[in-house]
Amino acid sequence: MKNVLYMVIPCYNEEEVINETAIRLKEKFEGLIQKGKIDCNSRVVFVNDGSKDSTWNIIEQLHKENYLYSGIDLSRNRGHQNALLAGISTVKDSADMVISMDADLQDDVNAIDEMVEKYLEGYDIVYGVRSKRENDSFFKKITAESFYKITNSMGGELIFNHADFRLMSKRAIEGLSKFKEVNLFLRGIVPMIGYPSTIVLYERNERFAGESKYPLKKMLSFAWEGITSLSIKPIRLVTGLGFTVFTISIIMLIYIVVRYFMGSTVTGWASVAVSVWLIGGLLLLSIGIVGEYIGKIYLESKERPRFIVDKFINNIGIGNNNE
């Protein structure tokens, strides 16, 4: 086995950080090649997810300067998860193992060594897991940890404090390719593959430059996407909630009838108004949750492509030398 490693790095408007990312990964790859851990035909693949800045121009320039760098240009912005899948799917025939990592350098590049070691020990999937969240605000820490706990309680199989920093073998990637859903949530899908896996702990850094691509609104949307993509428990909760409200209404009906025959009727608009608002709110919430799943079924039934690759610049079998 040649142990060809491909790094897949989704990029959206990352012109401020991509050069520094390239420098650090070049040093890391050269060290691993010298130690004989990975093959000299290993590559760093930047996936341009419809960036509006000069990200793709920088990727093309990096490729011209050094064959270590490759690039994938998507036809339009498809979102982080689809860009990540596009990169993995495009390089899977050339790589023995693929590591996915964000471009902002928050993931520790030094953890790559241990990931490769775990792969050489026979693991098909190696998850990069944050060892602590000391740099996060109280709100970010609570919401992030709650997300993992709630998703798992809803039927997901998320690795706690793991995002998308992971190594996958060729066999694991072939397993991933069998999942055809349009509504992607890789953090939940990858554990479903089931091949031997382990974790590598690392400390997450501050973003090197630029702004986060995941503000609160987008993070909440991402969390909801993950829950509804992995489980039907929200619909079952709606069913349970409806049964509970129905039971309460029967109890209230019996109570009102008993009070009527006791000659102690209670008049007042407050209880009626509260009941109407409560039931109305539950109905709207229930319709919304069911509608979310119907929308997902609609998107899946169309079988639209999850991504379209416009360009793939890559040189195979020519080593790692500069032009």
Averaged pLDDT score across all residues of the chain: 81
Q: Does the pLDDT at position 207 exceed 70? A: no
For the record, the structure tokens of 251 come out as 């109890």
| Residues of the chain above pLDDT 70, percent | 72
Pick the residue with more confidence: 227 or 29? 29
CB 15 within 8 A of CB 52: no
- Tell me the per-residue pLDDT of 78-125, one tens digit each, with 9 for 90 and over: 888 899 999 999 999 999 999 999 998 889 999 999 999 999 999 999
Q: 5-213+306-313, superfamily in CATH?
A: Spore Coat Polysaccharide Biosynthesis Protein SpsA; Chain A (3.90.550.10)
- Tell me the per-residue pLDDT of 57-89, one tens digit each, with 9 for 90 and over: 999 999 999 999 999 999 999 888 899 999 999
Q: Which run of H or of E encompasses 198?
A: strand 197-202
CB 108 within 8 A of CB 204: yes
- The CB-based long-range contact list for 288-294 (8 Å cut-off, 24+ gap) reads 289/234, 289/235, 289/238, 290/235, 290/238, 292/224, 292/228, 292/234, 293/228, 293/232, 293/235
* Alpha-helix runs per DSSP H in 136-215: 138-153, 170-176, 186-193
CB 313 within 8 A of CB 64: no
Question: For position 186, what pLDDT does the model report?
Answer: 84
Residues in the chain: 323
CB 285 within 8 A of CB 166: no
Tell me the average pLDDT across 149-164: 76
- Tell me the per-residue pLDDT of 15-57, one tens digit each, with 9 for 90 and over: 999 999 999 999 999 999 999 999 999 999 999 999 999 999 9
